[in-house]
């Protein structure tokens, strides 16, 4: 089952997760990374930028595929995941923009966009290290409860709970999109290795369900138990229910 690392606080989780990523990227400079957004990975990206600055690691030959993007948001919208990745990581490191990938939230044909994204992942050789957060309802990427096991990159409707949780990233008065494009459960499970990070008490229930509840797509993260190489790094607050 998953290897579980519980640390005292969120800073230690970010330290550990960033060191894990650097430890994989340094010996394999052409690593294909799967990347998450949200509050949790901010500290990880800051540390990766630091590791680049100090010469510990280079992203020059690496590729990245983000998990998801909101539908209808242009890449320069401040709450888009394109903007997030630029601001949190890409602008600070030597990654080749041509090798950074996110689903196109403006694609007029989401089915075709999903196919294009899956093809790009396959052509890059598949995802070597998939970094994941977890939603308060157990979602991974934007795969909400009930997402099919064989799902691939596609358009999904967000739950009210997820839209509410993500409201803080949007300018005052703007509505959170109802739809997103996300890698599927099958896409995520095909990664060779998975690193899931979770911090804070609001993740305790989801993490407990993922690790000790039934393996069910009502808690999408619980299916990670089927994967042979999963590491979960969390703080004591997030581990409280385990
Ligand atoms: C968001 C993202 C997920 C992320 C999760 C948790 O909606 N689509 O990829 O892992 O919810 O986000 P946070 O770290 O902000 O709690």
User: For 165-223, what is each residue's pLDDT tens digit?
Assistant: 999 999 999 999 999 999 999 999 999 999 999 999 999 999 999 999 999 999 999 99
Catalytic residue selected from 68, 69, 190, 235: 68
| The pLDDT of residue 114 | 98
**CB-based contacts of 242: which residues, under 8 Å, 6+ apart?**
4, 207, 208, 211, 212
Cα 140 to Cα 183: distance, rounded to the nearest angstrom: 9
Q: Is the ipTM of this complex over 0.90?
A: yes
CB environment 134-171: b (16+ within 10 A), e (fewer):
bbebbbbbbbbeebeeebbbbbbebbeebbebbeebbe
Q: Is 68 in the pocket of ligand 1 (CB under 6 A)?
A: yes
Considering only CA atoms, which residue is closest to atom 4 of ligand 1?
133
Q: Can you tell me whether residue 89 is helix, strand or coil?
A: coil
* Maximum CA extent, the chain: 46
Q: Is 36 in the pocket of ligand 1 (CB under 6 A)?
A: yes
**What domains can be seen in the chain, in order of their start residue?**
3-235 (3.40.50.1360)
User: For 67-93, what is each residue's pLDDT tens digit?
Assistant: 999 999 999 999 999 999 999 999 999
User: For 112-121, what is each residue's pLDDT tens digit?
Assistant: 999 999 999 9
| Nearest alpha-carbon partner for 16 in 195, 194, 141 | 195
Cα 60 to Cα 29: distance, rounded to the nearest angstrom: 8
Q: Is 193 in the pocket of ligand 1 (CB under 6 A)?
A: no
Cα 83 to Cα 85: distance, rounded to the nearest angstrom: 6
| The pLDDT of residue 60 | 98
Mean pLDDT of 140-147: 98
User: How would you classify the pairing of strands 230-235 and 3-7?
Assistant: parallel
Q: Is 142 in the pocket of ligand 1 (CB under 6 A)?
A: yes
Q: Which atom of ligand 1 is nearest to the CA of 158?
A: 7
**CB-based contacts of 230: which residues, under 8 Å, 6+ apart?**
1, 2, 3, 193, 194, 195, 196, 224
| The pLDDT of residue 196 | 98
Task: For a ligand 1 pocket test, name from 134, 176, 206, 210 the mutation site with the most ligand atoms within 8 angstroms of its C-beta.
Answer: 134
| The pLDDT of residue 59 | 98
Indicate if 82 belongs to the active site: no
CB environment 89-102: b (16+ within 10 A), e (fewer):
bbebbebeeebbbb
Indicate if 68 belongs to the active site: yes
């Amino acid at each position: 089952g998953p290897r579980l690392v519980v640390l005292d606080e969120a800073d230690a989780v970010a330290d550990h997760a960033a060191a894990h990523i650097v430890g994989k990227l340094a010996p394999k400079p052409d690593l294909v990374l799967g990347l998450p957004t949200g509050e949790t990975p901010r500290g990880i990206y800051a540390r990766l930028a630091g590791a680049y600055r100090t010469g510990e690691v280079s992203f020059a030959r690496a590729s990245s595929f983000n998990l998801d993007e909101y539908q209808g948001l242009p890449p320069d919208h401040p709450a888009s995941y394109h903007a997030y990745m630029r601001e949190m990581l890409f602008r600070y490191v030597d990654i080749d923009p041509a090798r950074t990938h996110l689903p196109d939230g403006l694609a007029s044909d989401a089915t075709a966009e999903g196919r294009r994204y899956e093809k790009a992942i396959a052509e890059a050789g598949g995802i070597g290290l998939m970094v994941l957060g977890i939603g308060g309802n157990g979602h991974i990427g934007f795969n909400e409860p009930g997402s099919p096991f064989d799902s691939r990159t596609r358009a999904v409707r967000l739950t009210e709970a997820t839209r509410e949780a993500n409201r803080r990233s949007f300018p005052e008065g703007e509505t959170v999109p109802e739809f997103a494009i996300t890698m599927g459960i099958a896409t995520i499970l095909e990664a060779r290795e998975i690193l899931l990070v979770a911090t804070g008490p609001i993740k305790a229930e989801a993490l407990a369900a993922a690790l000790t509840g039934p393996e069910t797509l009502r808690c999408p993260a619980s299916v990670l138990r089927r994967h042979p190489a999963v590491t979960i790094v969390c703080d004591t607050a997030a581990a409280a229910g385990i």
